[in-house]
Structure 1
Amino acid sequence: MIGTKYSSEKSSYVDEKTGRTIWQLTAGSANNVHLYFTDNSFSIGDTEIYFLSDRGNERNTYNFFRMELATGEMTQMTDEPGGIGYSTKTPDSELLVYVAGKQIKKLNTRTGEISVIYEETEGMTLWSPFISPDKKRLGFCRNEEVSVIYGNNYTGFKETMYAIKRGYVTIAHMDGSGAYNAFEDTHWLAHFQFSPHNSNLAMFCHEGPWNVVHQRIWLLDLSTGKVKPCFRQAEDDSVGHEFWTRDGNIFFDNRRKGHDGTITSNRTQVTEITEESGQIPYIGLADEHGEVIKTIPMPFYCNHYHANNDNSLLVGDEVDDLVMIALTGDEPELTTLCTHHTSWSSQKTHCHPTFSWGGDRLLFASDRSGAIQLYLLEL
């Protein structure tokens, strides 16, 4: 029920490998998941987080909750009987947006008002909502429904990419006054993200295994409707996990030849440097025009990266550890922060480590104890 309070479940422990103190924010049998790393669960000021949980509901039926980090107290923010899917929020957490069935809804956390801002009528699936920095528009992807069996460990990932032949980037007005298709494509579209500083500029991706997607990242100018590639890929490029950095550049990860962009619960994937490929992965930064301005060799075993405020530090999730990577020297320098021991069995069990807005805290998820829980590391 909206407004239901849950007492703190916070506890701390000493990490087995590094001796750092880690805060476990949630506990028990419920699953708890923070927002995808292209968003940020922290509210500006870093005193609270917004997250998804199936507590008080059927397993894997999620709703929005708020946690006061100092006390650990949690408050239920939505009560959708069928649960909510893809979700996003503004950095100040004034507005929460989420997919509920065939509708996209907006919650104003200041007033408590919930309203429908889009309703699907064409049988498309709704993906990747993201709010413009001026809070006036919502961008999201719509893909045709396909008959694919989904499951853990990326079951159905490649099949979905080949099955989808129609996708849209759709823009809805946040006041619910209407929506329009800004771009139509013949691919599976995902990861829509507005620029943090420009409400007329966004990016999206062609989704699928990285080594078979010909061009991953695309820029969309909403003032002209024009689309162009960001970092033009060549044959041996395997690119993904793109996000806007806080200074308005675009971060991307190029794992190089043969990497499909996945990690599974058997802990095997092609992130290791192999003699066969002879290619070293690298990360890159592109400007708002899609032109690469910097690349850095990144010969590490990480699945996701997230950058701090000035891009001097990355946090990454190796197979069993979280690591910090300093980018200030001649070569990237890696330091192990703590273990995470997640199973990697599904997207929700991925760690997706994320910097707080102040850059001095890291939020991540793990199912190391069974259910998916949230963890906080203070730097």
Structure 2
Amino acid sequence: MKNRLLTIAAASMLFCMSLPATAQQKLETGAKKPMPQQWIDKDTGHKLMRLSSAPGSNSSFYFHNNPFVKQLKNEGDKMVFYNTDAAGTRQLYTINLKTLKNEQLTTSKSKKVGEILAPKRREVIYQTNDSVFATNIDTKKTRLVYVFPEGMRTGVTTLNADETLLAGSFAGPEKDEIYKQYPEKSDYFNRIFDAKIPHTLFTVNVETGEMKEIHSENTWLGHIQFSPTDPNLLMFCHEGPWHKVDRIWTYNMKTNEVKNMHKRTVEGEIAGHEFFSRDGKTIWFDQQVPRGVKFYLTGADVATGKEKQYEMDRNEWSIHFNISPDQKLFAGDGGDPGQVAKAEDGMWIYLFRPEGDKLKSEKLVNMKHHYYKHEPNVHFSPDGKWIIFRANFEGDSQVYAAEIAKSK
């Protein structure tokens, strides 16, 4: 019965997509609870639709974690996301981006964390306690990938380009003690940074289960991402207050070279929320020179270190940015006045077009009814025609898509 209802809902949304624009309502996004399945944002003129129909709270992946797997024939690309039901059980689901059908992948009641997709293997990889599992997106069969040694509190966060190695980091026991004593980020963040706790980057072979320690430092290591094209290149960051760290680094597993990708140029400068370009040739990041004064989306060439800056104004700054499949456009998820930019009018989903050394913005979604503690985390759809994000302007978190082309 549940699957039948989801299918009916998807069919209904497809029917709405076929209606002429005059039949679609122009509404203030989030002003109604619930919103219709599809509407036109009255402030931007762009069409929106809700993609998630699974009952409960639904959240798309973090901005730099790829959630998409290509269709096998012409059945539609799929996007993986998390659903949390009324009992608090978290499961992985897929959305078919052609039919909009929501389909459950996992069924175990155990807590699941992690957002790693293996598109060639057609698996989603996640962790439950000390065990790493992979579930096939088509067959829903689940296999055990790896079990961490007893007492080792860590996890994997990324998969390399040829889908042979997972990577993550682990820290000394002092870090867990700080977390226990100071559970709020505002309390533990500086304490972990100041403690200079030993951290180690490691890999796990997906086939053999071999774990290998590859790099250690007496500082907080995080935000670990493999290059999308070079299976030997791993990016990581020095965590901590951004104005105190040269944050962005790479590690080459062939040469063991550790390379700083951006060095701060003035007191108080920050750079972070880094992510790879689609071709793996550039690392993009939010740069502020100094913090909260001038705002840029900056790209560092992986091979040469040469940087390209695109300036934006305060209101256009976004918590996270992302790049289109053809690498010609960017998107941002905006931010409320409490964020670092202190923007008075920054609560929008943005599309950005590079023009010279600046980004020209277009507003896609008015987010004034969204609570920004739940970060939207924008993704471009595989066809480059939609911006997909998560939001709570209806109450529970749901997954939405905003059309890049303006509605006629």
TM-score category (smaller protein): 0.7 to 0.9
- Asked if the contact 1:230–1:289 (Cα under 8 Å) also holds between the matched residues in 2, the reply is no
1:62 lines up with 2:90 in the alignment: yes
Distance change (3 Å), C-alpha of 1:131 and 1:5:
farther
- Asked if the contact 2:348–2:365 (Cα under 8 Å) also holds between the matched residues in 1, the reply is yes
Quote how far apart the aligned CAs of 1:354 are. 0.8
Quote how far apart the aligned CAs of 1:21 are. 1.4
CA-to-partner distance for each residue in 1:315-355, whole Å, 9 max, x for gaps? 1122321111110345321111111332122xxx2100111
Distance change (3 Å), C-alpha of 1:121 and 1:83:
same
Query: 1:372 is matched with which residue?
Result: 397
Identity of aligned residues (%): 24
Task: Pick which of 158-167 and 249-258 moved more.
Answer: 158-167
1:52 lines up with 2:77 in the alignment: no
Query: 2:209 is matched with which residue?
Result: 177
TM superposition score normalised by structure 1? 0.84
The 2-side partners of 1:338 and 1:186 are apart by 43
- Unpaired runs of 5+ in structure 2? 14-36, 336-346
Distance change (3 Å), C-alpha of 1:355 and 1:128:
farther
- Asked if the contact 2:310–2:357 (Cα under 8 Å) also holds between the matched residues in 1, the reply is no
- Specify which of 377, 381, 387 is matched with residue 362 of structure 1: 387
Q: How many residues align?
A: 351
**1:338 partner amino acid:** V
Task: Pick which of 197-206 and 95-104 moved more.
Answer: 95-104
SS state at 2:242 partner: coil
TM superposition score normalised by structure 2? 0.78
Query: 2:69 is matched with which residue?
Result: 43
SS state at 2:190 partner: helix
Query: 2:311 is matched with which residue?
Result: 297
CA-to-partner distance for each residue in 1:53-92, whole Å, 9 max, x for gaps? 113x632x42211111233322211234232112210245
1:253 lines up with 2:281 in the alignment: no
Quote how far apart the aligned CAs of 1:305 are. 0.8
- Specify which of 92, 100, 121 is matched with residue 149 of structure 2: 121
Alignment of 1:25-40 (within 5 A): 25-26=51-52, 30-40=56-66
- Specify which of 336, 341, 348 is matched with residue 321 of structure 1: 348
Quote how far apart the aligned CAs of 1:114 are. 2.3
The 2-side partners of 1:245 and 1:286 are apart by 10
- Asked if the contact 2:106–2:140 (Cα under 8 Å) also holds between the matched residues in 1, the reply is no
- Asked if the contact 1:117–1:172 (Cα under 8 Å) also holds between the matched residues in 2, the reply is no
The 2-side partners of 1:311 and 1:293 are apart by 16
Bigger share in helix: 2
SS state at 1:289 partner: coil
Quote how far apart the aligned CAs of 1:40 are. 2.0
**1:177 partner amino acid:** G
Quote how far apart the aligned CAs of 1:170 are. 1.0
The 2-side partners of 1:163 and 1:52 are apart by 34
Quote how far apart the aligned CAs of 1:19 are. 2.5
Query: 2:222 is matched with which residue?
Result: 190
Query: 2:324 is matched with which residue?
Result: 308
The ranges of structure 1 where at least 4 consecutive aligned residues each deviate by more than 6 angstroms after the TM superposition are: 3-6
- Asked if the contact 1:6–1:75 (Cα under 8 Å) also holds between the matched residues in 2, the reply is no
Task: Pick which of 288-297 and 168-177 moved more.
Answer: 288-297
The 2-side partners of 1:219 and 1:98 are apart by 24
- Unpaired runs of 5+ in structure 1? 259-269, 274-279
SS state at 1:161 partner: helix
SS state at 1:204 partner: strand
Query: 1:72 is matched with which residue?
Result: 100
The 1-side partners of 2:358 and 2:147 are apart by 49
Task: Pick which of 159-168 and 36-45 moved more.
Answer: 159-168
Aligned-residue CA RMSD (Å):
2.5
Quote how far apart the aligned CAs of 1:29 are. 6.2
SS state at 2:284 partner: strand
CA-to-partner distance for each residue in 1:279-318, whole Å, 9 max, x for gaps? x122211122361331222323321111113432111122
CA-to-partner distance for each residue in 1:94-140, whole Å, 9 max, x for gaps? 02111211222222334544233332226444355211111111112
The 2-side partners of 1:96 and 1:80 are apart by 15
